[in-house]
Amino acid sequence: MKKQLSKIIKLILLTCLIFTSMITQPATADIASGAKIFEIHCAGCHENGGNIVRRGKTLKKKALKKYGMDSLEAISAIVTNGKNNMSAYKDRLTTEQIQDVSAYVLEQAEKDWR
């Protein structure tokens, strides 16, 4: 009986681990698609990771970190819902497109927009 219970518990834990991994694992972003979306929707204000509206609120790594925007989740949230002068794109872009452009921004920040 103890062996069966132990096997059941292990199976439940394994199932939970797999399920949790599936939920928290983001879908693979398409960086090339993100670059195109950025060029169409974002580059007007954020050319080369800058910001023509609010000088200090750039997409550079240092600024993203300073403002707590240095994660895929944070960037996706602001692209989706907007904030202050930043427009919301939830009605213009799909969830997948938002993930793609967010991943592109993070990648470019890591490369210092070069």
Domains of the chain from N-terminus onward:
27-110 (1.10.760.10)
Nearest CA to 51 out of 77, 86, 83, 78 is that of 86
The pTM (predicted TM-score) of the whole model is 0.75
Q: Where are the beta strands (DSSP E) in the chain?
A: none
Please, what is the Cα angle at 97 between 38 and 80, to 5 degrees? 85
pLDDT of residue 15: 57
Nearest CA to 97 out of 75, 65, 67 is that of 75
* CB-based burial label for 57 (10 Å; 0-12, 13-18, 19+): buried
pLDDT of residue 24: 44
Check whether 78 has a pLDDT greater than 50. Answer: yes
More confident residue, 12 or 45: 45
